[in-house]
Structure 1
Amino acid sequence: QNKVKYIKQTTAILKQKYGGDIPRTVEELVQLPGVGPKMAHLAMTIAWDQVSGIAVDTHVHRITNRLKWVKKETRYPEETRVALEEWLPRDLWREINWLLVGFGQQTCLPVNPRCTECLNRDICPAAK
């Protein structure tokens, strides 16, 4: 229900304020109803071919914590984004989301991860 409401509100804002296009900055994108940092960074990459930050969703958040890619465990995706951006080379920011989302949906599941079939099991600190 919220998504429909957000889409309607956002459509009106985009028509009125942006001539039917989308904003060109993360700061403006996150002002739109229902748009958070993850979606803003994805939109910047896809729409404007500009890598403004890492798009961290629940899968990227979970996997990078399991792999200990963050110095200390993070509780929220936005914390994870900041921690990853501190060390991950910027030229990898674009693809980390695409690479880890599918992996998180198929193998590194939130509950009962498929560690025995995972090719990373020998190097993963969380492998069972």
Structure 2
Amino acid sequence: MFFGEFKEKNQDEIVLEEVGYTDILELLAVIYPCAYPITDKNLEVVLKLADRFIMPIIVERCKEVLKTSQKIKRPLKLWLAQKYNFPDLQIEYAKEYKNVDDVKKLKAEPEYGLLDDKTRSLIFDSITS
């Protein structure tokens, strides 16, 4: 957006539509001076913006938080792994579903409706193997 061949390249000001002020502050805080932590509380906002603005280092930091967080619920972890194309985590989280009861609990979660066929297939493979 800022350095490639984009129309915004020569503009002095760029309007960031559909991005809230506090969300941008959260992203900027983790970039500079790089001391503000990415946590389970700000992970979704930072990951969404880092992906949107093509910031692979920040995406990787978010992935580490997703991988190590004990507070983020399993269905949300699975959906974020799917959404942001972390296939290793997607497979790992799908394997955490061991039986039909686990899948029934997952179906009661709002994230279930967001899971694509590939992710659902990974879960099915997990409970049938």
- By the TM > 0.5 criterion, same fold? no
**Greater relative contact order (CA < 8 Å, ≥ 6 in sequence):** 1
TM-score between both structures, scaled by the size of structure 2? 0.29
